[in-house]
Structure 1
């Protein structure tokens, strides 16, 4: 009988793998989209169990397979927006990785940090193709962990960013955002908007909404021509924002259209058609469609979160952990067969 073991890889080990390797993080995301464009991915529907329709507290099961890499897996991730009021993280999860030659499991990996990196890296890769040239200003509606990760990756990608405005429901959140990031990035002026979301968005080259609630905070009047808007979560902007866009780009429209995001709600209500979506990001990365074509376009990027990207991260984390001697191996099934007499 074959012995079966799995490698447990915790959050600190995931962090060690990606320390000072921002380009590697972005490469994993871009590589995943190329695999998707080349039909090398199986992407079943996400299963979402919503426990509270108002808060959208939920647990998602997100499976995928990378055919050429010969791995399959899933992310089991909880998204509890109501946690923000309790002062605890609103996203947590684990990833399971299996190989598909014998079907045996390989690893269980922390999915909380990976989710944060993946979400922000998707936004950053989108910005690579969709942002105005040499952006100077960035505005955040929301000041939590996801907003911070977006800033880190976008600043890495665009060293020209010199001003960062941030607005949150809580002054303490804005202060924490600024105190943490200003200590690490000294060439950016950070401006606390004291809950004024309009101030954070107006005259801004890149706008990121990363909030834990379901409220249309971003207003169309605050969005100028030439802006890239990165929509991260659920219902964060009024419908007029999408209606104002020259291009709407999604990580994947089919995965988004029946969710609870702004453009998903518009689709369900008949205010948005399939033909209103300019492209999926994979089409732009693969060169099938153009990204930004001039500095006057207002581009709306919608990210719903795709499990094959998480799986690409999981596979890379597993390979790196093996080569770096990280993780803890646990035997699930021993080589000796179970004696069925023990159950009689």
Structure 2
């Protein structure tokens, strides 16, 4: 009944971004085929909502079963707005893996790196089916933090990216990002002074910010662009959301109540019938992805526990094969 314990540094040595992308794509396919169970996130308001608590934080519980791996698990993760000022990471999370046959807890591991890796991978998988130019795309990126880095790594793993344009509200963060990631991915990275400069003549725009001011407006997204607002924030203007040709989501239920679509749904301007497809349906071949070079597509992938469980299962299997990690008997 021993459980394998794995640290963030161990995880970073066990898997590559290419392997993470493969696991994420297989899990989306499983979602489309019905052999992945992924309930909507359960949110714990620690001050990021109406609870009145002083911590300026919130946590999500994200259970899932992944059929193609025959594994179950749970990620518990949260974000603390004041952490960067304290020199601490914004995200803090853990993943627990469970054998669905007998309830044994197989592994407990850091969830922050897994979250960043799979968030990069999920955008890369989406773009594989939705981007108009898969040969040498130009990609715009909002957010130069940890997830901006894994977005860049994943995109450059999947595509021969011609140019990456980045904007962050903190210019120092943009400069540090460009210096670090140019060396890692060997792709030209342009730092932009204004958000509207990021999106010009792009093939795709990825947003990984904490913004709530709907700064991505309708006139910023040109014909043929795929827009990916990731996470649970309010980055897209209502007019943009309501005017795109296709709205694609990772999980319909949670996207109705969180993230980019939340405000327009609550205002009665959008309902389930306006969702073109889930990304799982597209990866499984049940719905078409991009059908013309002119379509403006928004793909809202808030994030699913199934992706974290799938990547954690990959890490676990590789750790067993490599003899990495510490076992601990909880009973």
* TM-score w.r.t. length of structure 2: 0.93
The SS at the match of 1:295 is coil
**CA offset at residue 27 of structure 1?**
0.9
1:143-165 alpha-carbon deviations (Å, 9 max, x no partner): 11111111111122110x22211
Conserved in 2, the CA contact under 8 Å of 1:231 and 1:301? yes
CA distance in 2, matches of 1:67, 1:141: 34
Distance 1:236 1:56, change over 3 A: farther
**CA offset at residue 135 of structure 1?**
4.4
Residue in 2 that maps onto 1:93: 93
CA distance in 2, matches of 1:230, 1:203: 16
Distance 1:82 1:299, change over 3 A: farther
1:87-116 alpha-carbon deviations (Å, 9 max, x no partner): 532112110111122211111011110000
Residue in 1 that maps onto 2:52: none
Give the 5 Å matches for 1:1-344.
4-18=1-15, 21-53=16-48, 57-67=57-67, 69-84=69-84, 86-133=86-133, 134-159=135-160, 161-186=161-186, 188-194=187-193, 196-233=194-231, 234-259=233-258, 261-333=259-331
Distance 1:76 1:138, change over 3 A: same
Worse-superposed segment, 26-35 or 112-121 = 26-35
**CA offset at residue 170 of structure 1?**
1.1
The SS at the match of 2:210 is coil
**CA offset at residue 314 of structure 1?**
1.5
Conserved in 2, the CA contact under 8 Å of 1:121 and 1:150? yes
1:170-226 alpha-carbon deviations (Å, 9 max, x no partner): 11011011000112233x3221113x1111122211111111232212111111001
The SS at the match of 1:217 is coil
CA distance in 2, matches of 1:39, 1:168: 38
Worse-superposed segment, 122-131 or 164-173 = 164-173
Gaps of 5+ in 1: 334-344
**CA offset at residue 130 of structure 1?**
0.2
Distance 1:269 1:27, change over 3 A: same
Conserved in 1, the CA contact under 8 Å of 2:119 and 2:303? yes
CA distance in 2, matches of 1:56, 1:238: 24
Worse-superposed segment, 44-53 or 279-288 = 44-53
Stretches (4+) displaced over 3 A: 53-56, 67-70, 81-88
* TM-score w.r.t. length of structure 1: 0.89
**CA offset at residue 36 of structure 1?**
1.9
Distance 1:45 1:222, change over 3 A: closer
